[in-house]
Structure 1
Amino acid sequence: MKILVTGMSGTGKSSVLQELARRGHRTVDTDSDEWCEWVTDARGEPDWVWREDRIDELLAGHMDGTLFVAGCKSSQGRFSSQFDAVALLSAPAAVLLERMAARTNNPYGKSPQERALVLEHLATVEPLLRATATLEIDTTQPLSVVADRLEALAG
């Protein structure tokens, strides 16, 4: 089974993937140069998108157990038919901003510009993700509960 774990910055995608990996699942956090690249979008703006060849290879090559893939990229819709489920992680804006301010493993969300962009994406991108999600999980719950709910998707 292949499950996409998506959501805005600060929802806990990386944290829950670490917990799922600790539980023995195969996980891939796509927020790295290995899985993503900068391109220029149709409006001439920079966009951090999945490296399609690598994501195709990852998904086609997964044959056993459950694969949890985390990411929130404009290009992920191209791969939706290759996932068995899409889990949207969500939390209130104040929680996301607090988490980003406190985290030490990711610098994103520290500047006023990035924080404003997160709020904009919460209003414009999250509804699009919600419309295509199999399940939405409120990540104000304990991490173990979020991981349990994701494992339940796998059956």
Structure 2
Amino acid sequence: MRNYLIDGGSGTGKTTVCDELRRRGYQAIHGDRELRSDPKPGEAASGSAPDCHLPPIWDVAMVKALLANQDEAVTFFCGGSRNSSEFIDLLDGVLVLEVADLDTVMRRIDERVLVDPSDWGGRQEEREIIMHLHHTKQGIAQGWAIDATAPLEFVVDEILRRIQ
């Protein structure tokens, strides 16, 4: 069993990479959707002011159950997790999708918001947070950098090459 986190800022392609890994037959978990957990008392919820820029909190028990599962040779956990420090040491590695060009990030977010106007990045204040976090890299785990400006097939091929 090998387990990897795929992290990156908004618009770097975490969801798209997760979908492609699934299409190729890998177990890939949409962490932001499938592992989201309610915050503990006193913690701000993702999407609530003033901390709406925080990544979601993942259900650590669910993550650990997936880590313990011996049915899959490789599992990818895709997305940002505010509480990744509670499980990151149990992973075999972290891959960080990077897009250096802010215009590319914002174009991707515009495309995403066209499909779902309520998605992250649809409001001006969210866009400002995305731009700030793009420059600071705040909240992104440390790991192997993957150039996510390449075509999707190449990005996923590079991820798979790195874990071999």
Q: Normalising by structure 2, what TM-score?
A: 0.81
Match of 1:51 among 59, 77, 94: 59
Q: Distance in 2 between matches of 1:127 and 1:20?
A: 26
Q: Where do 1:32-43 residues align within 5 Å?
A: 32=33, 34-39=34-39
Q: How far does residue 121 in structure 1 lie from its aligned partner after superposition?
A: 2.0
Assess if the C-alpha contact under 8 Å between 2:9 and 2:140 holds in 1.
no
Assess if the C-alpha contact under 8 Å between 2:6 and 2:95 holds in 1.
yes
Q: How far does residue 62 in structure 1 lie from its aligned partner after superposition?
A: 4.1
2:155 is equivalent to residue 146 of structure 1: yes
Amino acid corresponding to residue 19 of structure 1 in structure 2: E
Q: Kindly, what percent of the aligned residue pairs are identical? A: 25
Structure 2: gaps of 5 or more residues? 47-55
- Structure 1 match to 2:131: 119
Q: Where do 1:129-140 residues align within 5 Å?
A: 129=140, 132-133=142-143, 135-140=144-149
How big is each residue's C-alpha offset from its partner over 1:67-107, in whole Å with a ceiling of 9 and x where there is no partner?
Answer: 11101121112211111110000112221111011122571
Q: Normalising by structure 1, what TM-score?
A: 0.86
Q: Distance in 2 between matches of 1:143 and 1:62?
A: 28
How big is each residue's C-alpha offset from its partner over 1:114-144, in whole Å with a ceiling of 9 and x where there is no partner?
Answer: 11111222233x26636x21x1011110000
Amino acid corresponding to residue 87 of structure 1 in structure 2: L
> Size of the alignment, in residue pairs?
150
SS in 2 for 1:72: coil
Amino acid corresponding to residue 36 of structure 1 in structure 2: R
* Superposition RMSD in Å: 2.1
Q: How far does residue 153 in structure 1 lie from its aligned partner after superposition?
A: 2.3
